[in-house]
Structure 1
Amino acid sequence: MVGMLPYDDVDSNLRAMAGRAEGFGRNAIGGLHGSVYSVTTLAGTSSISQIYAFFHDGPGSLREGCRRKEPLWIVFEVSGTIHLSSYLSVSSYKTIDGRGQRIKFTGKGLRLKECEHIIVCNLEFEGGRGHDVDGIQIKPNSRHIWIDRCSLRDYDDGLIDITRQSTDITISRCYFAQHDKTMLIGADPTHVGDRCIRVTIHHCFFDGTRQRQPRVRFGKVHLYNNYTRNWAIYAVCASVESQIYSQCNIYEAATKKKTFEFYTEKAADKEEQKTGFIISEGDMFLNGAQPCSVTEKIEESMFHPSEYYPTWTMEAAQHSLRDVLRLCTGWQGITRPIDQMVLN
């Protein structure tokens, strides 16, 4: 149906998100089989205004829940801003579920390192400071991850970076703004293990971010039903051996009209330099945004999403989709669903 986003029933109960992502992250179950862990303190207070947690740890803290080894569905009983003095590392089988509250991270971000089955939902990331500081850093060797309905802006490095053989990831319904190097997929040409990377990005709004929506090395990336506007360098970049399938997205240019960029680099285990490849299918180009040239070479081995997952919720790129994405991406003021597993 025109103007409808996917996942219209994942808020029907608390754990309905588990295993429901579309695309490469579709197997992510988060803390489905664990207890509900309630974050009750963000620095020893429950004020709804500004709450700063520089070093806070211990029972009831988010850091304590994220480090535990058992599966957990983490929810928040308080709202506020968590100023992270160091990265918040997340262990396997965790859901960090911000529905029902308003949680904003500043300072540093989340680190998903050598973990699997992570769901991150309905959080804000803003004002990350320091060298190599990302909003959500996914490396190394992490997999089965779903990032949904998060708002990210103004970090010193990336908003989301996916590198070092991390794979099977979906990013959906997120809002990106006020940033330069938005999303890097694939670390650099020496990390040839990144050939395993597979990422789906759909129903996201890139609102005036300058570049890397995303930039890809080596990996396979499926982009569909995203809205990217007012970039300053390019919208999407394909570099060494990457394969990008851009399907029914909306690209609206400002002064810079180049939508797709192609960078040539040499993989560490190859003799010749190579660029990446992009297929653009059903995309809408507005305000002079330039489509892919028909002369761009496409490898015969270019992947198709249907080789990896049978269905995905997609509509034609049109103005009604653009209007919906302006309203329905990023953090949402929704009520936290009831945990039906407890009731049953």
Structure 2
Amino acid sequence: MASLPYADVDSSLRSLAGRAEGFGRLSVGGLNGPVYRVTTLSDDGPGSLREGCRRKEPLWIVFEVSGVIHLSSYLSVSSYKTIDGRGQRIKLTGKGLRLKECEHIIICNLEFEGGRGHDVDGIQIKPNARHIWIDRCSLRDYDDGLIDITRQSTDITISRCYFTQHDKTMLIGADPSHIGDRCIRVTIHHCFFDGTRQRHPRVRFGKVHLYNNYTRNWGIYAVCASVESQIYSQCNIYEARQKKKTFEYYTEKAADMEGAKSGSIRSEGDLFLNGAQACLLTGASEECVFHPSEFYPTWTMEAPSDSLKDILHICTGWQSIPRPAEQKATA
């Protein structure tokens, strides 16, 4: 379909760099570093993913093996890294990735499943992380969130990901006391939320642009706007099952404010199926929501349709695609 984004990012290994749409568009990952090859499924040691992620220099990390990497602890990713799963099938389990005080991270074509323990997320982005792009990942069945973005982490794009078999899917903005989260900006597009229960996403304080996502069969609500958040929902497909409420509003009090308030959602061109109810707040709520064009000039979007549903079934999550040819790093 001609209007789908990223038609050429698989033309060469480093074509992903700087190509995200939305708030994460500046992320270059490990563009200017050498290729690091993961040669073992071990949790640590020479040739392991953890060894590559802890190195301080820019790296474009690829895999020479397929299989399961069982993480015994969070795997911290340092700045200027691309974790590129194209060409192999890598599943992370046990714990997840932690993006802490880092910048310019690209995570592509991985699976996350079966994370266990208190506060264990598939991808935990906090604090003060920025310029991040998560593309074509499959995430399911963690004890906490699948992707959580909190503590002043910002300028993030999540695209073409598949979420299933989970409760609290994606949290953006941790707590009403963390007023620094007013800086958060996230774009989520062309993702498939398939039967996950809630938080697609749940947002505090931040600005979030949702477009061309497919969310179906949620268990409580699809999208939640809490304290001071601004959510621009554009040309998404919301397909209800038993629970019909698409948009939820939770009222909370920011630590530096007198009164409690919820967030705001602006819905433009969304498709509501099987009795899904938009439940937009009346009055000035929509007028309080930012417009993405204030921050980036273009994004690739089409009207929601059955054909868009079909393509998101096929093109989200881990993909069986070859690793693109390598080119020399750009100076």
Pair in the same fold by TM > 0.5: yes
Aligned partner of 1:53 in structure 2 is none
RMSD: 1.4
Aligned partner of 1:163 in structure 2 is 150
d(CA) in 2 for partners of 1:322, 1:332: 17
8 Å contact kept, 1:280–1:292: no
The question of 1:73 aligning with 2:60 is answered yes
Aligned partner of 2:30 in structure 1 is 31
Q: Paired residue for 1:271, among 246, 258, 283?
A: 258
- List runs of 5+ in structure 2 lacking aligned partners: none
Aligned partner of 1:13 in structure 2 is 12
Q: Map 1:89-104 to 2 at 5 A.
A: 89-104=76-91
Q: What SS does the corresponding residue of 1:118 show, helix, strand or coil? A: strand
Q: Paired residue for 1:134, among 117, 121, 134?
A: 121
d(CA) in 2 for partners of 1:87, 1:296: 44
Superposition deviation, residue 299 in structure 1: 5.7
Per-residue CA deviations over 1:184-233 (Å, capped at 9, x if unaligned) read 00000000000000000000000000000000000000000000000000
8 Å contact kept, 2:252–2:262: yes
8 Å contact kept, 2:31–2:330: no
Q: Paired residue for 2:95, among 108, 112, 130?
A: 108
Aligned partner of 1:318 in structure 2 is 305
d(CA) in 2 for partners of 1:272, 1:339: 55
Provide runs of 4+ in structure 1 moved above 3 Å: none
d(CA) in 2 for partners of 1:330, 1:299: 32
Per-residue CA deviations over 1:301-341 (Å, capped at 9, x if unaligned) read 42100000000000001111011001110000000001122
Equivalent AA in structure 2 for residue 234 of structure 1: Y
d(CA) in 2 for partners of 1:239, 1:319: 31
d(CA) in 2 for partners of 1:224, 1:278: 13
Structure-2 change in CA distance of 1:328 and 1:269 (3 Å): same
Equivalent AA in structure 1 for residue 209 of structure 2: H
8 Å contact kept, 2:247–2:280: no
Structure-2 change in CA distance of 1:301 and 1:339 (3 Å): same
Equivalent AA in structure 2 for residue 91 of structure 1: S
Q: Map 1:233-248 to 2 at 5 A.
A: 233-248=220-235
8 Å contact kept, 1:277–1:297: no
Q: Map 1:124-273 to 2 at 5 A.
A: 124-273=111-260
Superposition deviation, residue 119 in structure 1: 0.1
d(CA) in 1 for partners of 2:280, 2:157: 28
d(CA) in 1 for partners of 2:60, 2:132: 14
Q: Map 1:275-314 to 2 at 5 A.
A: 275-293=262-280, 295=282, 297-298=284-285, 300-314=287-301
d(CA) in 2 for partners of 1:31, 1:293: 41
8 Å contact kept, 2:245–2:277: yes
Per-residue CA deviations over 1:166-197 (Å, capped at 9, x if unaligned) read 00000000000000000000000000000000
Superposition deviation, residue 58 in structure 1: 2.3
d(CA) in 2 for partners of 1:11, 1:98: 12
Q: Paired residue for 1:58, among 45, 49, 68?
A: 45
Per-residue CA deviations over 1:58-86 (Å, capped at 9, x if unaligned) read 22111110000000000000000011010
d(CA) in 2 for partners of 1:19, 1:76: 21
d(CA) in 1 for partners of 2:330, 2:212: 36
d(CA) in 2 for partners of 1:296, 1:266: 20
Q: What SS does the corresponding residue of 1:340 show, helix, strand or coil? A: coil
Equivalent AA in structure 2 for residue 73 of structure 1: W
Structure-2 change in CA distance of 1:341 and 1:194 (3 Å): same
Taking structure 2 as the reference length, the TM-score comes to 0.98
Structure-2 change in CA distance of 1:294 and 1:63 (3 Å): closer
Superposition deviation, residue 342 in structure 1: 6.7
d(CA) in 2 for partners of 1:23, 1:294: 26
- List runs of 5+ in structure 1 lacking aligned partners: 44-55
Superposition deviation, residue 42 in structure 1: 1.1
Superposition deviation, residue 5 in structure 1: 2.2
Taking structure 1 as the reference length, the TM-score comes to 0.94
The question of 1:339 aligning with 2:326 is answered yes
8 Å contact kept, 2:32–2:330: no
d(CA) in 1 for partners of 2:280, 2:183: 28
Q: What SS does the corresponding residue of 2:156 show, helix, strand or coil? A: strand
d(CA) in 1 for partners of 2:140, 2:293: 32
Superposition deviation, residue 296 in structure 1: 5.4
Aligned partner of 1:52 in structure 2 is none
